[in-house]
């Protein structure tokens, strides 16, 4: 029987430090059920490739064989310009929170407009660390029975992937049209801006209080994430930082 073509393009599924190959295989199966094929792993505990993943993938070879492995989350999301972090726990961050259904509509609109999107999932036992969540534009939470919200990794991926699949014929019109040759900033662009600014602030003494530095850095990064910068805007901001660092006003002494 001929199979239907995959729905492309689709969001990448990024698993941060997945523990069991069996769980990765079940994620691959859930992805292919919903037409998704871009699976990325960050530091899988038991290594890769995995015979256990193949065994539980139910012949989802197109996902397994093309899975990419990274040592850092920032590397796995470098080409992505819209990232959703999945978490069931409240975080001490100012982040927009959406359900899988809302996220799916946004993802369909973004990918059809040429965007590169990703869905970030954490460790089976403890989920994502704050250092990963801060890199996301939006937090995604599955509304479940408040008395029992436990999902395994494949279930969590399937919840979101299924909504993506169902939203294919419900794409809202795009509200933002970028000029030709102007694109949303990728995570590589944004992380470069973050690090450039933080280095300058370290040198100026703004981040000199050691115990406050991590929270100040997270606040700055979240602020820039919410700005919806383009690649051109990140280059302009880095030029501004470079100019300010180079310029030193005359001393009053």
Q: Tokens at residue 192, please? A: 């470069």
| Total structural domains within the chain | 2
pLDDT value of position 125: 82
pLDDT value of position 247: 73
Which domain does 146 fall in, by range?
Answer: 12-169
Using CB atoms within 10 A of its CB, is residue 133 exposed (0-12), middle (13-18) or buried (19+)? Answer: buried
133 vs 178 pLDDT, higher one: 133
Q: What kind and span of H or E run contains 239?
A: helix 231-246
Residues 144 and 59 in one domain: yes
Is 60 exceeded by the pLDDT of residue 63?
yes
Q: What does the pLDDT average to over 140-165? A: 92
pLDDT value of position 168: 82
- Please tell me the distance from the alpha carbon of residue 160 to that of residue 30, in angstroms, as a whole number: 10
- Whole-model pTM? 0.81
pLDDT band for 128, please (50, 70, 90 cuts). Answer: very high
Residue 34 lies in a domain: yes
pLDDT value of position 2: 38
Residues 21 and 135 in one domain: yes
pLDDT band for 3, please (50, 70, 90 cuts). Answer: very low
């Amino acid at each position: 029987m001929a199979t239907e073509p995959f729905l492309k393009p689709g969001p990448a599924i990024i698993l941060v430090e997945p523990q069991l190959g069996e769980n990765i295989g079940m994620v691959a199966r859930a992805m292919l059920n919903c037409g998704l094929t871009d699976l990325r792993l960050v530091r899988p505990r038991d290594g890769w490739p995995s015979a256990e993943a193949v065994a539980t993938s139910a012949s989802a070879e197109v996902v397994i064989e093309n899975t990419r492995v990274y040592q850092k989350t920032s590397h796995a999301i470098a080409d992505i310009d819209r990232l959703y972090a999945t978490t069931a726990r409240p975080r001490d961050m100012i982040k927009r929170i959406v359900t899988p259904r809302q996220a799916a509509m946004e993802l369909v609109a973004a990918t059809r407009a040429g965007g590169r999107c990703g869905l970030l999932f954490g460790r089976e036992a403890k989920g994502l660390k704050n250092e990963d969540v801060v890199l996301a534009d939006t937090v995604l939470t599955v509304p479940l029975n408040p008395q029992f919200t436990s999902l395994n990794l494949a279930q969590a991926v399937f919840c979101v992937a299924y909504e993506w699949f169902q939203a294919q014929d419900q794409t809202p019109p795009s509200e933002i049209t970028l000029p030709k040759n102007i694109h949303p900033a990728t995570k590589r662009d944004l992380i470069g801006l973050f690090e450039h600014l933080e280095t300058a602030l370290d040198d100026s003494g703004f981040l000199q209080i050691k115990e406050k530095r991590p929270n100040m850095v997270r606040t700055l990064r979240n602020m820039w994430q919410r700005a919806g910068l383009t690649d051109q805007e990140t280059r302009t901001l880095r030029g501004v930082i470079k100019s300010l660092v180079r310029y030193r006003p005359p001393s009053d002494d």
